Every structure is written in C-alpha cells, then in structure tokens.
Amino acid sequence: MQNIDNYNFKGKKAIVRVDFNVPLDENGKLTDDTRIRGALPTLKKILADGGAVIMMSHMGKPKKNPDMKFSLGQIVDAVSERLGVPVKFAPDCMKADELAKNLKPGEALLLENLRFYPEEEGKPRDLAKDASDEVKAAAKAALKPKQKEFAKHLASYADCYVNDAFGTAHRKHASTAVIADFFDTDNKMLGFLMNKEITAIDNVMNNIQRPFTAILGGSKVSSKLGVIRSLLDKVDNLIIGGGMGFTFFKAQGGKIGDSLHEDDLMPEALSVLEEAKKKGVNISLSVATVAGDSFSNDAHQKVCDTHNIPDGWEGMDASQASLDNWKKIIMASKTILWNGPVGVFEFPNFAKGTETIAKYVAEATKAGAYSLVGGGDSVAAINKFGLADQVSYVSTGGGAMLEAIEGKVLPGIAAIKGE
Ligand code: AMP
C-alpha cells in the first residue's frame, strides 16, 4: 500500500476526500472547524511538495441538486484562511474539468457538495413512499453503473487519490471507495488524519494496558449493541450511562417512569449482562439518576433510584452517586474508551454528569492512562467543556469509530488497501 509519508506530490494533482461535513449556524457561518483542521496536515503536505489539491466532501443530507443550505461554497473562505492559500470553488462537482485542468502546483480547488448527486451514496431519490422492495432494489441497481461513472469522472480530475475522511470511511460511497478502482496501487493512499485515527483505535484495541474501561452513553442501545458485544471480549470494565441505561433497568424489572427505552431490546440487554458475568467483565450501571418532569432544560429536577422513577419523570442526567462509583473505576484505568454522553448534555441544567465524566477522563489521562474519545456527541461534549486537549485522542468519526472497534473492515480503508 502506498504511504503518504513517502509520496512526492510534486507536479501532481491530488484529489482528496476530506470530511468537511462541518456545523454551520443559521447564517451559514462555521461554528466548529475541528474537521477542517484535521485535514490540514495532508492538504499542506501536498501543496508543500509542489502538488495541486482538489478537495471533495459531502455536507449534510441534501435531497436535491443544488440545495444551497448544504453548499460547500459557504466554507471556501474558512478553508482558504486555514490552508493559507486562496481556494477556488467548482459550483458543480461534475463540471470541474476546466478548473481541474488549469490548476497549477500550489493551488487548491474545492468541489461542491458531492451529495447533490444521488450517485455519491448510490441511494436512489424520488422513489414513491410506498414503493415496493422490488422497485427499490431495481432503482438501486440502475444507479450502480451511474455511480461508477460518477466516481470515474471525479478520478479523471487528478493523478492520485488520497482518502482522509475517517468520518465516512464506513460508507461504500463513490468518493470514499468506488473511486479507488480508478487509480493504481502506487497512486492511492490514506491521508495523515486517517492514519492517526487507525493508530488511535489500534492502541485501544490491540495494545491494551489494563485495566481497560469503556464508557458508553447516548440515547439508544440499538445503535451500540454490536460494539457492546465486541467490547465484552476486550474490556475489564464497562460503564453504561445515559438514556441507554434505562432499557437495562426496565429489563431488570425496574420502574423507569417516562425515561427513554427500547422495549424490544430488553431481552438483549439481559443477555449482555449475563454474557458480561460469564466473561468476568464488570458492568457498572447508574445507581441513581437526575430526573426531570419534562424533556426541557427548565424541567424540575429530582434524584431518583434508577429502578424507581415515578411516572411523569424521566432520567436525564447521571447522579453524583453514580459519578462517584464511575470515578473510582475511571481513575484506576490505564486504557479508556469513551463514546456517548451520560445525560442530555445539550441542556446546561442536565450537563453536569457528562462534564464530570469528561473531567475524570482528563484526570486519568494526566495520571498516565491512554484515552480515546469518539462519536459525534462525546466530541461535541469534550469540546464544549474545553477538555479536548487533555485526553489522548479525539476521534473525528462516530459511526466509523464504532464499526472499527467492532472489528468491521471499513470500506474506505479496504478500497485503498485493495481488499
Ligand atoms: P447517541 O447518538 O446514541 O450517542 O446519543 C446521543 C444523545 O443521547 C445526546 O443527544 C443526548 O442528549 C442523548 N441522551 C443522553 N442521555 C439521555 C437521557 N437520559 N435521556 C434522553 N436522551 C439522552
């Protein structure tokens, strides 16, 4: 596999899949530039070598072409500023031939949102809501050759391809995987950010210093079941917090009031507890919760036993008693993986649990633990509390990180490796 460190981009045009799916406010102004900064080492190396760079990305979930709310044109200035060169913009990613052809060494071009075209994801649009499975499958099959053409067209802009978009590496899209077929092995590679992400995950999964503790939070058990199961083979402690916990409490026969839960997953929750016991994994659930009488920042609060929450109340944040238990576990750990907030941290009045966890992880890191924090919401949380530089690594990928931890092969990485 080609290695970006050894590759000389001099005189070459590189098409780079970046993850510029950045948050914007209602006026289209950038509110968090983490993902742009993450791509800079790769982009700067290409320019410094004397190459030209063509950046491509998706933003949001546009449903038509164009959908200006999701235009990457809104971040051209922000990217120019951070990259240190004026960035040209191609307002249609399929009509950038001339701009790409005329691009000189040291110059940079950004293509408009790839997802303006359904070919990028290979997902048909405009299907009737009640379309049958056959119709859906036929539409998808019809889009496949078009997706290939779309990827080939993107590939024609450049001499080499770099995938630096870890956040979409778990998707087999035109720009993340299909495009790799149009470059020979010597001219396609992973970018610096991608390599950093892979090393960080490798550190927690294959180079484990014990005790190893995973902290999982967030809203749904369903989205984390795969990762919970695979972590049971690796970790010494599994802390389960946030909305996810209430499915476990209800399954155990607890009274959870109006708390978030997934009834259909109760048997799974019980079997996870059983499996953990067999494997000697210490599962630590919350013992008491800060409940609210409505799902709002201004809800009245009271601390309830997690197995005894009255109707009309819902668990919304971790209580001090739970945090005290978790502190002991986290501080004794040498490897920590954190994904998902332990409360509705978007409401300042219910953010204390998540902020406290972030502080514990930072403290344990200071004391010598390796900590990996990932998943959209935990990253937003750690940034919000200003602790991102006090943990070992903050991953830019949510779904991609979870799938990598589950041991799944990520299509974006496999396509470069030729697997
Ligand atoms: P996920 O995408 O599954 O990682 O979930 C993240 C979301 O979980 C965040 O938006 C949190 O507000 C939410 N969350 C965490 N704890 C709770 C809770 N106790 N009740 C409802 N939502 C929660």
Q: Of ligand 1's atoms, which has the minimum distance to the CA of residue 315?
A: 19
Ligand 1 site residues, Cβ closer than 6 angstroms:
217-220, 223, 242-243, 260, 315-316, 340-341, 343-346, 375, 377
Please calculate the CA angle 37-405-403 and round it to the nearest 5 degrees: 80
Query: Among 39, 10, 34, which Cα is nearest to 23's?
Result: 34
Å from CA of 223 to ligand 1 middle: 12
Amino acid found at 325: N
pLDDT of residue 204: 87
**Other residues' Cβ atoms within 10 Å of the Cβ of residue 255:** 15
The residue to mutate among 240, 258, 344, having the most atoms of ligand 1 within 8 angstroms of its beta carbon, is: 344
φ/ψ (deg, to 5) at 101: -60, -40
**Gyration radius of the chain's alpha carbons:** 23
Q: Mind listing the pLDDT tens digit of every residue in the chain (419 residues)?
A: 999 999 999 999 999 999 999 989 889 999 888 899 999 999 999 999 999 999 999 999 999 999 999 999 999 999 999 999 999 999 999 999 999 999 999 999 999 999 999 999 999 988 888 999 999 999 999 999 999 999 999 999 999 999 999 999 999 999 999 999 999 999 999 999 999 999 999 988 888 999 999 999 999 899 898 899 999 999 999 999 999 999 999 999 999 999 999 999 999 999 999 999 999 999 999 999 999 999 999 999 999 999 999 999 999 999 999 999 999 999 999 999 999 999 999 999 999 999 999 999 999 999 999 999 987 688 888 988 999 999 999 998 888 998 998 889 999 999 999 87
Å from CA of 244 to ligand 1 middle: 8
Active site residues: 35, 220, 376, 399
For ligand 1, atom 17: residue with the closest CA: 243
Residue 122 tokens read as 């290979």
pTM: 0.87
pLDDT of residue 13: 98
pLDDT of residue 376: 66
Is the CB of residue 171 less than 8 Å from the CB of residue 21?
no
Å from CA of 100 to ligand 1 middle: 43
Q: Of ligand 1's atoms, which has the minimum distance to the CA of residue 245?
A: 19
Å from CA of 260 to ligand 1 middle: 9
Q: Catalogue all structural domains in the chain, each as residue range(s) with its CATH number.
A: 2-197 (3.40.50.1260), 208-405 (3.40.50.1260)
Sign of the CA dihedral running 199, 205, 211, 213: positive
Å from CA of 242 to ligand 1 middle: 6
395, with CB counted inside 10 A (0-12, 13-18, 19+), is buried
pLDDT of residue 327: 98
For ligand 1, atom 5: residue with the closest CA: 218
**Other residues' Cβ atoms within 10 Å of the Cβ of residue 383:** 15
**Strand positions, DSSP E, 101-221:** 108-111, 160-163, 188-190, 212-216
Q: Of ligand 1's atoms, which has the minimum distance to the CA of residue 340?
A: 4
